[in-house]
């Protein structure tokens, strides 16, 4: 796949960064977003892509992003809704602030992003939501995170109906445990992360997954090979759910 224009939210780290690097190397016009200006500039310069600062929790910033792209006459072949957070909290002790922040970034953020960028999406075009296996597999301290991902998958089903005449298709990838910066941001120290990654040796894959393990499925959904797919889910879990 080359020659396409694809925007990736949360493209400065983890799966988003790995995908941006691969798509840019293959000759696509890649646009990334992130919350930190320095990181956006650094990544954009390193891989030769365009970058915009846009916090997924900030609706005004997402509207400004859409306006800036429209001003530059950008038309998108693909949109990857990748930006997300995970704040592990038991239900009994979960704070209202963490709940609101998780929903704002993981559910409302992609909703507003899709809403604002829909006029820029070509016919046909592909939207890929980076979800999680927590939608169907229960993990302690992940209730709000699971709800935030499941909620947008439900939104995507409705959006596939409403945008059908526009040639926009929306599908999801559900990564399993993948070694990225999200573990550290979730509050896990190095020892806890090592223990988690070591436990992945018991999966069929025999190791913890990396961001590179996720990008093939996303690339497929972005490509013309997925033209007939709507609200499909690709679980990339290394056999964890077997």
Strand spans (E) along 131-232: 168-175, 178-179, 209-210
The per-residue pLDDT for range 148-186, each reduced to its tens digit, is: 999 999 999 999 999 999 999 999 999 999 998 888 888
pLDDT in the model for residue 196: 87
The yes-or-no verdict on residue 95 having pLDDT over 80 is yes
Which residues fall within 8 angstroms of residue 60, CB to CB, at 6 or more apart?
A: none
The yes-or-no verdict on residue 194 having pLDDT over 80 is yes
What is the percent of the chain with per-residue pLDDT over 90, rounded to a whole number?
A: 93
Please give the angle made by the CA atoms of 134, 177 and 202, to the nearest 5 degrees. 115
Sheet of strand 5-8, all strands in order from the earlier edge strand to the far edge:
50-53, 29-34, 5-8, 76-81, 121-130, 168-175, 233-236
What are residue 60's phi and psi, to 5 degrees?
Answer: -65, -40
Give the Å distances, CA to CA, from 73 to 68, 119, 150: 9, 11, 33
Q: At what angle do helices 109-117 and 59-71 cross, to 10 degrees?
A: 20
Which residues fall within 8 angstroms of residue 118, CB to CB, at 6 or more apart?
A: 163, 166, 168
Strand spans (E) along 57-167: 76-81, 121-130
pLDDT in the model for residue 181: 83
pLDDT in the model for residue 148: 98
The per-residue pLDDT for range 210-231, each reduced to its tens digit, is: 999 999 999 999 999 999 999 9
Q: Rounded to an integer, what is the distance from CA 140 to the centroid of its chain?
A: 22
Rg value, the chain, Cα: 17
pTM across the whole model:
0.96
Q: State the average pLDDT over residues 49-70.
A: 97
Of 22, 32, 76, 72, the residue nearest 56 (C-alpha): 32
pLDDT in the model for residue 186: 80
């Amino acid at each position: 796949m080359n020659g396409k224009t694809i925007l990736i939210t949360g493209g400065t780290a983890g799966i988003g960064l790995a995908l941006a690097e691969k798509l840019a190397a293959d000759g696509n016009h890649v646009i990334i977003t992130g919350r930190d200006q320095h990181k956006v500039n650094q990544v954009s310069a390193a891989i030769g892509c365009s970058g915009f600062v846009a916090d997924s929790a900030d609706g005004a910033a997402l509207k400004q992003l859409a306006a800036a792209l429209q001003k530059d006459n950008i038309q998108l072949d693909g949109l990857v809704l990748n930006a997300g957070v995970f704040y592990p909290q038991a239900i009994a002790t979960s704070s209202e602030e963490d709940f609101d922040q998780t929903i704002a970034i993981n559910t409302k953020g992609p909703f507003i992003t899709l809403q604002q960028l829909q006029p820029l999406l070509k016919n046909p075009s592909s939207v890929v939501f980076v979800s999680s296996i927590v939608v169907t597999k229960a993990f302690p301290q992940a209730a709000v995170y699971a709800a935030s991902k499941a909620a947008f998958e439900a939104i995507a089903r409705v959006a596939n109906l409403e945008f059908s005449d526009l040639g926009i298709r929306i599908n999801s990838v559900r990564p399993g445990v993948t070694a990225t910066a999200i573990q550290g941001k979730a509050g896990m120290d190095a020892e806890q992360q090592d223990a988690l990654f070591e436990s992945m040796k018991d999966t069929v894959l025999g190791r913890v997954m990396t961001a590179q393990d996720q990008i093939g499925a996303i690339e497929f959904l972005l490509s013309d090979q997925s033209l007939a797919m709507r609200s499909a889910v690709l679980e990339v879990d290394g056999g964890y759910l077997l």
